[in-house]
Structure 1
Amino acid sequence: MRTALQRDLEARVDGEVRFDAGSRAAYAHDASNYRQAPIGVVVPRHVDAAVEAVAVCREHDASVLSRGGGTSLAGQCCNTGIVIDWSKYCRRLLSVDPRRRRAVVEPGACLDDLNRELSVHELMVGPRPSTHDTCTIGGMVGNNSCGASAQAYGKMADSVVGLEVLTYEGVRMWVGPTSAGEYERILAEGGRRAEIYRAVRGLVDENLALIRTRYPDIPRRVSGYNLDALLPENGFDLARALVGSESTLVTALRAHISLVPVPKYQSLVVLGFADVTAAGDAVPAVARHDPLALEGIDDTLIDLARVEHVAGHGVLEELPKGSGWLMVRFGGDTREEADERAERLLQDMHRSEHDTRVSYLDDPAEEERLWKVREAGLGATAYPPGGRDTHEGWEDAAVPPARLGDYLRDFRALLEEFGYGSASLYGHFGQGCVHTRIPFDLEDPGGAAVYRRFVERAARLVASYGGSLSGEHGDGQSRGELLPIMFGEEIVRLFGRYKGIFDPRDRMNPGKVASPLEAADPSRTPGVYRLGENLDHLGYHPAEPRTRFSYPRDHDRFTHAAARCVGIGKCRASSGGVMCPSYRVTREEKHTTRGRARLLMEMMRGMPGGGEDAVVTGGWRSKDVHEALDLCLACKGCRGDCPVGVDMATYKAEFLSHHYRRRIRPPSHYSMGWLPLWARVAALAPGAVNALTHAPLLDRAVKRAGGVDRRRELPRFARRRLTDRFSGSRVDGPPVVLWPDTFTNNFHPGIGEAAVRVLEAAGFRVEMPPVPLCCGLTWISTGQLATAERVLRRTVRALAPRLRAGVPVIGLEPSCTAVFRADAPELLAGDPDVERLAGQTRSLAEFLLDRAPQAITAPPPGTGRTALAQPHCHQHAIWGFDADTEVLRRAGVQADVLDAGCCGLAGNFGFERGHYEVSVGAAELGLWPAVRAADPDTTVLADGFSCRTQIAAGTGARARHLAELLAELL
């Protein structure tokens, strides 16, 4: 039932107003341990619409939370009330002054996207958190973000020149440094703005000594409100005093920020030490060289990075020997300048008392891959193989850098005392900020009580070092009640008075950071939430459902898989990698991997034993979950790109299998889901079938009956299948099984023939299954898992003799190859022949590189080819494109491997009615423009049937399979 608040928001706000269960579930979480479902979500189309939304909330006494990327780790980005999401529409760079190095930006602008726009001026935003590809400027302002680059450029507060802000009462104003003359002018104007300035000035003037003495003098103090920015010697800078206030004081509408030059050249030095504490001891000596960044990592993080393949092949071998490392990045206007600064550090370290080993990287690509190991710390440490799940909760405390080594020793001892000794330690060591994820037990009251005792002890330890409870992620809920330990009661009372000046009714993100001390209605003031309230996993014990997939990475529990997402939000990136194509087109939170994962967790929460206050009801029959999953392309990009390996394609298949159990399915599930069967029937008279499916009027009827979008052209069946054309191998060499997948066999058999020529030229005897078989892909993607199991079991039985003899299986269609390597072992867990199939299945490139590298020969000089290659999403996720790249290089092909994301067709997805706009929208984001811009002589390579079909549909180009190119080069 629509409430009066919802009706008024819909009537008056130019934007999208959502009070549905799916949207509330998607926004009930951030990246923290906390969960609070909002009343509703507003996505304003422009800044003025957000102002109107706050006005409506004020009239209905509803609280407001302004949200950016939603990646906060302290709980500040989830709350009851109305969430304003800026990231879909309010993301413009409004103006830039290259000479003064200034810009005005809307709050929803993504940092990486903004920096790409600024790069034409050779400028960038200084702070760069590890979530730089998803975080927003508004979120960075709200959280006073830092990142590794804060070593050189400071926190976000140091980049903010001015802010346009809105109070809950409706006062809209620009704030910034305030001279005496400006202050008098504001007072002379009168009104509520003048009252705010007068009250703030009075609060500071009455407490000058307290503010000057109780704030720790360290580079990474993010905890608390920035009252020190209001001191006379700091220019009474109200903008910087509002930075880091986490939407608890005002709503930021626009940000005027300073910019810094992009370093033209960079170099990276890695210093190895006996352990991470010794690395901490060396920080002051290294920091004297003024690096751009100075990061620390320990051996636990490196071991996890190796196991989880976070870095590219061989990158971690570049590290010097040791169990703790400092990564030191220098910049310069020339390569020589950057290198000279690195050399000076190395000379200094050799003369110092620090026992260190050194590695020096000057290859930018290698540097970036190694740097990503550090940036991936949160994801790599979340689910350590064989260990306990880890959590934030005490993940970013900071101490004076000069005392870092001693602090690390004491903190390690505290971890050991509580049984948390497996936690990794890493972070921004140059500024004394230490990140970690700790194996807290947050599912039961007893574990939560131990968590509380640990955090209180840790807070007192940090305070004893003159440090900050938060050095990057803010206070939110996880540290709000601990602030007296760091600042003392007097300063915390000032926080309450400061909050009361801007938000006397406690309607701005209430319960986080501080509570207004002088509230208009004290009975309405709940105080700050305690750190043990609203815990996401507390009481989350839903009954484990019977599932088709086994979920081996989640202890064979779907309930764990549904809760796997930790909220990093990498699926919200607008470029790079594969995930999440539907988000890149729609820019909708519930169409991210994260949003869908949150809905699945909320669905499980609604099951018996799942917990209280479930937002999503209906279990497997939930319409909200189905709606969110409907636009999932099942591209598997998240399995490879998500830092914690959420596999939404598998979760979607599982959900659909339950959702449609004993129910009529959509037409596409019967048409495209049963494609292997229909292809076998079509093989009896392919010409007649093609004529029927492409005849005017008849094709429309066929598409309508099959649930296919009318704008899609149906693929044509080949006149003869590959298995009909193949009459046996002409080579008597080692045997290989060439897998005749449905797509190659029935639509593009020439690819299979080309593969036969390549394999025979390499000396192998090619075999094909004697009877029609299938991997079950189309049944898996449509959630018909019982049928998929039967199909797969039949295939495994037929291949078993060859598998037991160790014969390799060569896959040509990446999606089918991925089924054998990833889906089959999880769908048919425990079958040794299935495990053999997974272990013996290889792509053509992998097989040639491993078993017949001598067969790949380069053409004569000057006769090489150029190619534009589109990796298939399933290949990207399961085994990568490195082998293909190397084969092409050895074959003398200069290949440009696209990083353009999913093609958008994704098997049945792009054909289905209702998906066309998202499908072509994904292609237009990168693939189609790249193919259209390619030189006519460039070969377009795409091993995936979907990719080739989508390329032809949008560009007219005929993409080729690697097998075809290699056969031509023989």
Structure 2
Amino acid sequence: MTDLPAPVFRPDLRPPVDVDGLAAALRERVDGEVRFDRGSRAAYSTDASNFRQVPIGVVLPRTPEAAADAVAVAREFGAPVLSRGGGTSLAGQCTNAAVVLDWSKYCTRIESVDTEARTCVVQPGIVLDELNRQLADTGLRFGPEPATHMNCTLGGMIGNNSCGATAQRTGKVVDNIARLEVLLHDGTRFWCGETTDGDYAEIERRGDPRAAIYRQLRHLRDDYAEEIRRRYPDIPRRVSGYNLDSLLPEHHFDVAGLLVGSESTLVTVLRAELELVPVLPERTLVVLGYPDIATAADAVPAILPHDPIALEGVDHKLIRDQQVKHLNPKALTELPEGRAFLMVQFGGETSEDVERQAHRMLDALHETEHEADVSFLDDPAREKEFWQVREAGLGATAHVPGKADTFEGWEDSAVPPGKLGDYLRRLNELYQEFGYAGDTGPSLYGHFGQGCVHTRIPFDLYTADGVATYRRFMERAADLVAEFGGSFSGEHGDGQSRGELLPKMFGDDIVTAFGKLKAIFDPEDRMNPGKVVAPYRLDENLRLGSTWSPADPQHLHFRFPHDGGSFAEAANRCVGVGRCRQHETSGGQVMCPSYQVTGEEEHSTRGRARLLFEMLDGHGDGPITDGWRSTEVREALDLCLACKGCKTDCPANVDMATYKAEFLSHHYAGRPWRRPRSDYTMGWLPAIAQVIGKLRAGRLVNALSHTRGLSRLATLAAGIENREIPRFAAQTLQQWFARREATGSGARGTVLLWPDTFTNHLHPHVGRAAVRVLEDAGWRVTMPTEPICCGLTWISTGQLRVAKRVLARTVRHLAPHLRDGGLVLGLEPSCTAVFRADALELFPGDHDVRRLGRQTVTLAELLTDHSPGYRPPRAGGRAIAQVHCHQHAVMGWNNDLELLEAAGVDVERLDSGCCGLAGNFGFEKGHLDVSKACAERVLLPRVRDADPGTTLLADGFSCRTQVREFGGHDGHHLAELLASALERKEN
């Protein structure tokens, strides 16, 4: 063998980094944002894995060239570098004590597209869905599509050699890369790809550092070629290890292919030339039901000859987890009979073609041992719902009520598809042996057509014995996969989870070759050290672990009933899947509006959850050391709109609005003078409004607050942004109601109309319209006469002691009505959500609060679920609906849609996310730009483009206010639309 150097990587011998000097040099020489503050380091301390390492600092380069400058500075200071994509890695490769390059904010361009060659050149930070959106007009797309397609970056996909369900047709990322522009830690930079003998000779003639690298790579290939052919499993999903096989002559000495999947341990990828595939215009989905998951897997070899473009498997436990968490309910009702399911998708140019393919497969399975119960789906909307069932796997299996928490580790093993059924049986036996099995044990799902299995396991990562058991399981599972000729990773890479285990799969010679490859590209071990080569142990650097001892606060206002009363468990709820990092609202998803505007990790739900986790300092070495007083956490939470979108949209149901309120309450406890003035003016708005209403001073206040000069003084005095102050009504809803005569028959019973502050004092016309609709529908309407409140504004500003007193008083007042079974109708979604959600979390043991949660309804719920036989007046016409964030998160909008369709309204729900006002948020100092930017993303342009006769439905006072001020249009409550239809009917 050629005498290549035997690598020795000893991180303990590295000299310490001059962090202050490094930060100063990066700021001086790099075109980008340089973050060495405690908050940024906390936000990037972990990925979606079991591991945690606090970075030295974070750089957000504005260009690939700026990233190269950052690497040059790091080299001068001897600092390790970690190139990071979307941060969703499940094996720990995106966490390290290094300078983290985050490409996802600025380096997001498609630099060129060649439709004839079917290629494009991209920067590493572009998100996959955004890439394919921009390519849509070409009829081409990038083929591999992981479940995180809405937020994973191409750089991260290249680093992980990602796959996804579409890999059944298009292969892994390594199969779809033409060339890469790469940078070594020593500054060597070049484009690479497949290398002919002529190319190699030309590179050799130059005699530069690239030539030296290529020469060493050829020697390495020649030395280990036969061992590579012998030890590398011939399966579709071999992702573990370096792609040494790409250097073989049969793979054309493909250096780009070699570097794909190297997890930032060898080079930094600056640009990538991607190979694209044609979009298949027609698809159909067949779902096959089987008695168990192993039997379903047995059928895979019989299906593969029919060339499906995707072949996924899910078991009944994944379905059950989604049912428990109320995910994808519509699709789950249409599954065929069985306890395990194969989702087989066919694609082609015509619908006849794909249906023919599907029927040919079913005919072949008929009267064989693989025949199944069948659901045949050719409706694109229904197909999308079923794919959401599969893509929700990671989030659906985390934090399932009634089950132990689950973790990655053995998350994506892969075996030959023909052996998959037997592998699953043996894996289940292993679960049983280690006590992980049972009906509440881990679910099994994945890319069965390529033998790849996903699972999250209820490891005990909190105790020494549990961690030791986790290690033993991982070792045994590795032995099992090696026995089956499989790969430890079929999609998510090795990182730290499996790096230590690689000798079991490849043998010592190939692992030695990995080390030599590392030495060729990174002899100083500065690129993501401790991952893949000379790896940290799989039970080292754990995010939890037996020594994790967070300072879990005991005196909380919210009781966190879904997390055992523990704020630490709530802060640990985030599993890092990154759904909050979406760049486009889609499917009615709301979270996370501030991230959509800023692109900042700290302004995502995940980033904020990381800071809260670090704030509890469970490891004793974290960057956040001042607990509830932390300014870094406060600043990260400052741009949280408390929209509650994450409560529903986050697969782990992180509720950042609640965490923010709890944090602010403790942050300002004992020092009220530190609170912004807006907390008092906006937080105490209900009390201020009650005084104005009692004095009937609405007109006077409006005159003062809308007079030039005085208006600016008013906003300055209130400590709020210089924007239009809402007008108070001359007569409150309660005052109007007290003077009117009831006209309803009351045949359906009595409903209490809740006079929330916004309806009562600012938009009483909405309440008057609701009364008219309710009485026409046969309800008797009653209303409290006292000035009472749900406490919303005190909750959103974190004044929880006051909020609890206000809410407790309200509950006492409503108790007689509730105990008689009476319904409470909420017109303002944010206040209704307090009764349906926040109150229950503040007072989980109070039976009247529970009754309030059960018996509070929206107008649409009252008229559909509680008014049998009711037929709304025909409103007709066209409407666009801006659904309030809290309605989306807590109550849902299905009843509204049902009622509007019954009223003959052609309605479109806008995929606009949050309006940006979000109660007090848009009025608070420093929030105006973000508030407007949220509205300008989708909502305001769509409103401006609407036909003149189109009604804008917006039940939320905030939504109507935002659109009126910045869009010049009036929004209308559902009650107003129905009342107007009644008026037209009567006239």
Shift of 1:82: 0.1
Matching residue within 798, 818, 821 for 2:836: 821
Q: 1:470 matched to which residue of 2?
A: 489
DSSP 3-state at the match of 1:434: strand
Contact 2:19 2:56 in 1 (8 A): no
Q: Which moved more, 1:542-551 or 1:120-129?
A: 542-551
Looking at structure 1, the residues matched to 950 and 712 of structure 2 have their Cα atoms a distance apart, in angstroms, of 35
Shift of 1:855: 2.9
Deviations 1:801-837 (A, max 9, x none): 1100111111100000000000001011211000000
Looking at structure 2, the residues matched to 345 and 419 of structure 1 have their Cα atoms a distance apart, in angstroms, of 39
DSSP 3-state at the match of 2:475: helix
1:947 corresponds to 2:959 = yes
Letter in 1 for 2:731: R
Q: Which moved more, 1:337-346 or 1:278-287?
A: 337-346
DSSP 3-state at the match of 1:649: helix
Residues 191-270 of structure 1 aligned to structure 2 (within 5 Å): 191-270=208-287
1:550 corresponds to 2:543 = no
Q: 1:517 matched to which residue of 2?
A: none
Query: Which 4+ stretches in 1 moved above 6 angstroms?
Result: none
Q: 2:648 matched to which residue of 1?
A: 640
Shift of 1:611: 2.2
Q: 2:736 matched to which residue of 1?
A: 725
Q: 1:7 matched to which residue of 2?
A: 24
Looking at structure 2, the residues matched to 825 and 99 of structure 1 have their Cα atoms a distance apart, in angstroms, of 60
Deviations 1:510-529 (A, max 9, x none): 00011xxxxxxxxxxxx310
Shift of 1:758: 0.6
Q: 2:77 matched to which residue of 1?
A: 60
DSSP 3-state at the match of 1:868: strand
Contact 2:224 2:510 in 1 (8 A): no
Deviations 1:688-743 (A, max 9, x none): 11111111211111111212111x10000011000101135322411001111100
Q: Number of residues paired by the alignment?
A: 949
Looking at structure 1, the residues matched to 327 and 353 of structure 2 have their Cα atoms a distance apart, in angstroms, of 31
Deviations 1:540-590 (A, max 9, x none): 222431110011111111110011101000000111211111011110000
Looking at structure 2, the residues matched to 38 and 93 of structure 1 have their Cα atoms a distance apart, in angstroms, of 29
DSSP 3-state at the match of 1:315: helix
Contact 2:819 2:851 in 1 (8 A): yes
Q: 1:482 matched to which residue of 2?
A: 501
Q: 2:427 matched to which residue of 1?
A: 411
CA RMSD in angstroms comes to: 1.0
Matching residue within 795, 800, 807 for 1:785: 800
Letter in 1 for 2:570: A
Matching residue within 116, 129, 139 for 2:156: 139
Letter in 1 for 2:254: D
Looking at structure 1, the residues matched to 19 and 494 of structure 2 have their Cα atoms a distance apart, in angstroms, of 34
Q: 1:271 matched to which residue of 2?
A: 288
Looking at structure 2, the residues matched to 729 and 293 of structure 1 have their Cα atoms a distance apart, in angstroms, of 61
Shift of 1:401: 0.2
* TM-score of the two chains, using structure 1 as the length reference: 0.97
Residues 453-532 of structure 1 aligned to structure 2 (within 5 Å): 453-514=472-533, 527-532=534-539
Q: 2:14 matched to which residue of 1?
A: none
Deviations 1:280-310 (A, max 9, x none): 1001111111111100000000011111111
1:628 corresponds to 2:643 = no
Letter in 2 for 1:788: A
Shift of 1:856: 2.8
Shift of 1:785: 0.5
Identity of aligned residues (%): 61
Contact 1:266 1:335 in 2 (8 A): yes
Looking at structure 2, the residues matched to 331 and 841 of structure 1 have their Cα atoms a distance apart, in angstroms, of 47
Looking at structure 2, the residues matched to 853 and 187 of structure 1 have their Cα atoms a distance apart, in angstroms, of 82
DSSP 3-state at the match of 1:382: coil
1:669 corresponds to 2:679 = yes
Contact 1:729 1:767 in 2 (8 A): no
Residues 464 and 686 (structure 1 numbering): CA distance in 2 closer, same or farther, change over 3 Å? same
DSSP 3-state at the match of 1:672: helix
Looking at structure 1, the residues matched to 733 and 286 of structure 2 have their Cα atoms a distance apart, in angstroms, of 54
Residues 139-178 of structure 1 aligned to structure 2 (within 5 Å): 139-178=156-195
- Structure 2, unmatched stretches of 5+, are 1-17, 983-987
Shift of 1:254: 0.3
Contact 1:144 1:155 in 2 (8 A): yes
Contact 1:107 1:136 in 2 (8 A): yes
Residues 58-457 of structure 1 aligned to structure 2 (within 5 Å): 58-312=75-329, 314-421=330-437, 422-457=441-476
DSSP 3-state at the match of 1:55: helix
Contact 2:581 2:604 in 1 (8 A): yes
Contact 1:95 1:104 in 2 (8 A): yes
Q: 1:713 matched to which residue of 2?
A: 724
Looking at structure 1, the residues matched to 45 and 628 of structure 2 have their Cα atoms a distance apart, in angstroms, of 20
Letter in 2 for 1:462: V
1:761 corresponds to 2:767 = no
Q: 1:518 matched to which residue of 2?
A: none
Looking at structure 2, the residues matched to 155 and 479 of structure 1 have their Cα atoms a distance apart, in angstroms, of 19
Q: 1:519 matched to which residue of 2?
A: none
DSSP 3-state at the match of 2:480: helix
DSSP 3-state at the match of 2:759: helix
Contact 1:54 1:168 in 2 (8 A): yes
Contact 1:667 1:707 in 2 (8 A): yes
Looking at structure 2, the residues matched to 29 and 330 of structure 1 have their Cα atoms a distance apart, in angstroms, of 38
Q: 1:889 matched to which residue of 2?
A: 901
- Structure 1, unmatched stretches of 5+, are 515-526
Deviations 1:409-463 (A, max 9, x none): 0000000110111110000011000000000011222211100000000000000
Looking at structure 2, the residues matched to 411 and 440 of structure 1 have their Cα atoms a distance apart, in angstroms, of 15
Shift of 1:858: 5.9
Shift of 1:383: 1.2
Deviations 1:35-62 (A, max 9, x none): 0000000000111100000000000000
DSSP 3-state at the match of 2:453: coil
Deviations 1:608-633 (A, max 9, x none): xx222121111000000000000000
Looking at structure 2, the residues matched to 931 and 118 of structure 1 have their Cα atoms a distance apart, in angstroms, of 27
Contact 1:774 1:792 in 2 (8 A): yes
Looking at structure 2, the residues matched to 206 and 893 of structure 1 have their Cα atoms a distance apart, in angstroms, of 72
Shift of 1:481: 0.7
Matching residue within 748, 753, 761 for 1:746: 761
Deviations 1:105-139 (A, max 9, x none): 00000000111000111211100000000000000
Q: 1:522 matched to which residue of 2?
A: none
* TM-score of the two chains, using structure 2 as the length reference: 0.95
Matching residue within 571, 589, 594 for 2:580: 571
Contact 1:728 1:766 in 2 (8 A): no
Looking at structure 2, the residues matched to 720 and 567 of structure 1 have their Cα atoms a distance apart, in angstroms, of 50
Shift of 1:348: 1.4
Shift of 1:355: 4.3
Looking at structure 1, the residues matched to 880 and 156 of structure 2 have their Cα atoms a distance apart, in angstroms, of 37
Letter in 2 for 1:531: L
DSSP 3-state at the match of 1:268: strand
Looking at structure 1, the residues matched to 681 and 142 of structure 2 have their Cα atoms a distance apart, in angstroms, of 51
Contact 1:381 1:390 in 2 (8 A): yes
